[in-house]
Structure 1
Amino acid sequence: MNNPANIFTFDWDAEISTETRDRIFDKIVGAADKWRLHMPAVLFFESIGPMSYLGSQAMIHFSPFLAMLFPGGLADVQKCSKLMQDPKNLKMLVDRIVEAEDAARKR
């Protein structure tokens, strides 16, 4: 997606690779760990769990603004939105944040 003409094209039917999922989750977990916001992050992701599909659609709507916050830009916003559609991915993300919190407490 380096071509500016393809900046808004995204294959919504394609599966997100585990490497890409882990990279995006590592960024989110790293930010929560850096700012010591483990519990607010867990609370946020647990609370949006039942409405994960609606939240992912809101991410698409606000993607031009969210692209400024994601290091990967619009491509990462779209991938993250696709990941958030599945409640299993939210559970996996919450588990990783909790693991990071446990590791931070041991330091």
Structure 2
Amino acid sequence: MRGPHNILRLIRTGATLERTGAMPVILNALDAPRTLKFAARFIVWPFQFLGRRGDQSLPPAPRALTAMGPAYIKFGQILSTRPDVVGPELAEQLRVLQDRLPPFS
């Protein structure tokens, strides 16, 4: 019975990326093909209302990761140390996750 739960989690993750404006930033940083960019945004767009807004003071990518929780923040921290993987612009955005976040309660 885990299948529907995982599908809902995937939709919510994509919706949060789209709602915070991180989807185009990430797809451009990863140099995704135009068809993939279109397909990803087209599939997720109707579900935007399921996504979380995040902290408006952060750039789009860190905003999305902080809205999704601690596991995503840790993933963003790891990616921020690898500009060769995500590109220098996205790595710079993700550096906010290293030391400028409030502690979890």
TM-score (normalised: structure 1): 0.31
Greater RCO, CA 8 A, separation 6+: 1
TM-score (normalised: structure 2): 0.31
